[in-house]
Amino acid sequence: MFGKRAKTPDRSATDAELSTAKGRNDLVFYLVSRFIVVLLCVVAAESFVAWAENAVLAPVLTGLLEGSADTAPQDTTSAIALLGWLFNLFSSIAQARYAQVASMASQSLAVVFAILLLALLAVPLFAGALVFSRLVVRKVGELQARREEELALLEQRRSRFMTDVAHDLRTPVMAISGMVHAMRDGLVHDTAMQDEYLQAICDKSDKLGNLVSSVFDYAKLGGGTFELHQEPVDLPQLLLNEAAAAYTDVEEAGMEFSIHVPEDRCVVQADPVQLARVVANLITNAVRHNGPGTEVSLILVQQGGIAFVMVADTGEPIMEDPETLFEPFTQGDSSRSKSGGSGLGLSICKRIMDMHGFDLGVSQPYGRFTKAFVLQCPVEG
């Protein structure tokens, strides 16, 4: 129904980190499950070895011990009994009962077989311990390698984030500085040109202010200091309000705006201010990155207790990797400069939706539209 869903960045790798509760639970589950499997294998192997000893080695040892009733074990049909006899031998040695030891040691071949019985019973235990230790070492190595990759990726993103912020801050600042210096030095004499410079300074200042606000919001959303104020929200009414607020901007951009929001009851538990912010940002994003003649559509569909909110358009498809759309500054510098966006809008939307426990992704194509941003949230009642 919703076309081919483009994958959005998940957090499966991050959740597997040992620093998270889920990561620790996953590790404990892995270790316990592997331990149980290894233990069952050891028990099965021990049972087989005990059966084989009773069936094969015990009769041989019984034959070797015939004629030595005073030192031989009473029960020669059980591997456990034979091992008990071997224990008595070692006890005699420890207590220096040399006469008895000499009598028992005369049957050296029997001693060798008894030791072999003990060694065979120990083999599954040592093998199980070795296998389990290798599994633990391999799992810890995988987690450590994954953690190192995540840290390297985090550092790369942080570096790119700072570079992009610095670039986007410097561009309007340098433009404002150049125009202000030109006016101060008397290089702009024409009144119309002065008005044009002043308007450009105002536009650049607004863009600079928007960028600073976006960076602040993005940092606040990711810093754990931002709190949602959730309440039951009439989703159709919220969507209609945002559509009405954006209608003029869509019309002025030479685009067609279609609204498909049924009036059926649809209540979600959300922060109404932040949810409206996400919807408004998605509509603005569609207007900003498409040309005149594009149809932008706001659609609401309820299915299986889930409300699907789509902001779809007939503009150019997304050529970049959809998985990176919700990362900060993924549009590219030239595109941001051309569209006037900060490159943080979708990242902010994604973080807001993650805080709600909602899903935000991209579907392209979507029906007769080239693409659609799809918001999924559970419906109350």
Residue 371 maps to a domain: yes
Q: How many residues does the chain have?
A: 381
Give the mean model confidence (pLDDT) for residues 290-311: 93
Give the mean model confidence (pLDDT) for residues 332-349: 58
pLDDT of residue 52: 74
Residue 238 maps to a domain: yes
CATH code for the domain of 254:
3.30.565.10
Model confidence pLDDT, tens digit, residues 194-245: 888 888 888 888 878 877 876 777 777 766 667 888 999 999 999 999 999 8
Model confidence pLDDT, tens digit, residues 323-338: 677 776 555 434 444 4
The helices-and-strands tally (H runs, E runs) of the chain is 11, 8
pLDDT higher than 80, residue 80: no
pLDDT band at 70 (very low <50, low <70, confident <90, very high): very low
- 335 vs 248, which has greater pLDDT? 248
pLDDT higher than 70, residue 288: yes
**Domain interval for residue 59:** 15-150
Give the mean model confidence (pLDDT) for residues 360-376: 91
The secondary element (H helix, E strand) that includes residue 104 is helix 98-105
pLDDT band at 5 (very low <50, low <70, confident <90, very high): very low
Residue 176 maps to a domain: no
Asked if 9 and 327 touch (Cβ cutoff 8 Å), the reply is: yes
The secondary element (H helix, E strand) that includes residue 231 is strand 231-234
Give the mean model confidence (pLDDT) for residues 262-285: 91
Residue 23 maps to a domain: yes
Give the mean model confidence (pLDDT) for residues 353-369: 90
CA proximity to 18, closest of 173, 146, 108, 167: 146
Last residue of a domain, one of 150, 172, 188: 150
Mean predicted lDDT score pLDDT of the chain: 77
Residue 85 maps to a domain: yes
Model confidence pLDDT, tens digit, residues 156-190: 777 776 776 777 678 778 888 888 888 888 888 88
Give pTM, 2 decimals: 0.54
- Give the dihedral sign, CA 155/156/161/166: positive
Q: Are residues 51 and 140 in the same domain?
A: yes
Residue 2 maps to a domain: no
pLDDT higher than 50, residue 361: yes
pLDDT of residue 295: 94
Last residue of a domain, one of 122, 150, 178: 150
Residue 296 to residue 254: CA distance in whole angstroms: 11
SS3 381: coil
Q: Are residues 232 and 371 in the same domain?
A: yes
pLDDT band at 293 (very low <50, low <70, confident <90, very high): very high
Asked whether the bond before 365 is cis by omega within 30 degrees of 0, the reply is yes
SS3 7: coil
Last residue of a domain, one of 125, 150, 175: 150
Asked if 278 and 349 touch (Cβ cutoff 8 Å), the reply is: yes
The secondary element (H helix, E strand) that includes residue 306 is strand 306-313
DSSP per position, 238-286: HHHHHHHHHHHHHHHTT-EEEEE---S--EEEE-HHHHHHHHHHHHHHH
Q: Are residues 234 and 323 in the same domain?
A: yes
Give the mean model confidence (pLDDT) for residues 11-18: 42
- Of the chain, the end-to-end C-alpha distance in Å amounts to 24
Residue 121 maps to a domain: yes
Residue 52 maps to a domain: yes
pLDDT of residue 94: 55
Asked if 286 and 260 touch (Cβ cutoff 8 Å), the reply is: no
Domain count, the chain: 2
pLDDT band at 313 (very low <50, low <70, confident <90, very high): very high
